[in-house]
Amino acid sequence: MRHIISILMENESGALSRVAGLFSARGYNIESLTVAPTEDPTLSRMTLVTRGDEAIVEQITKQLNKLIEVVKLLDLSDGPHIEREIMLIKLKAENGKREEAMRLVEIFRGKVVDVTDSTFVVELTGKSAKLDAFIKAAHEESVVEVVRSGPLGIARGAKGLRL
């Protein structure tokens, strides 16, 4: 099963490699991983997407918690949560195809953020599945380049993951 894990950790050099190293050393999957400092510059927030059965994910969270730099951790999949990913995608948009491309962007509520004679760069936000759907709808031959952030997640409700 897919799990999305939010980690609050010390913003120190080497902390990221400890997390990455843990996954490779113990043979766990990482589907995606994003990390950036928080409003408190001594802390980083990491969102990590992994797959595994219940026992493996339990071990993953325990092993992550064991890392000295990990301050707090939450498996967002345990409760209701919001998940968003951002994608920048460069599409071929030559004469005669520009209208169709624009329509697609509108349907998915994306934004065109760069235009040339022959291409658009589209910015699109949403659940990962929505981004997948956009790529599929745009057709392989018209996709020049794709860059995705990997999902970010936050739990619903009043509680926050903080110190």
Taken in order 135, 136, 142, 145, the sign of the CA dihedral is positive
14 conformational bin, left if phi > 0, alpha if psi -120 to 50, beta if neither: left
Cα–Cα distance for residue pair 39/25, rounded to 1 Å:
31
29 near another protein (CB under 8 A): no
First to last CA, the chain: 29
- The Cα 18–Cα 13 span in angstroms is 10
Nearer to another protein, 29 or 59 (CB): 59
Under rule CB under 8 A, residue 37 binds another protein: no
Span interacting with another protein, options 31-39, 65-73, 118-126, 128-136, rule CB under 8 A:
65-73
Phi, psi values for residue 47, rounded to 5°: -120, 125
Of the residues 27, 55, 116, 157, which one makes contact with another protein according to CB under 8 A:
55
- Work out whether 41 is an interface residue with another protein (CB under 8 A): no
Q: Which is nearer to another protein, 26 or 103 (CB)?
A: 26
Q: Candidates 10-18, 92-100, 121-129, 146-154 — which segment interacts with another protein by CB under 8 A?
A: 10-18
Residues that bind another protein (CB under 8 A): 9-10, 14, 17-18, 21, 25, 55, 58-59, 62-63, 65-66, 68-71, 163
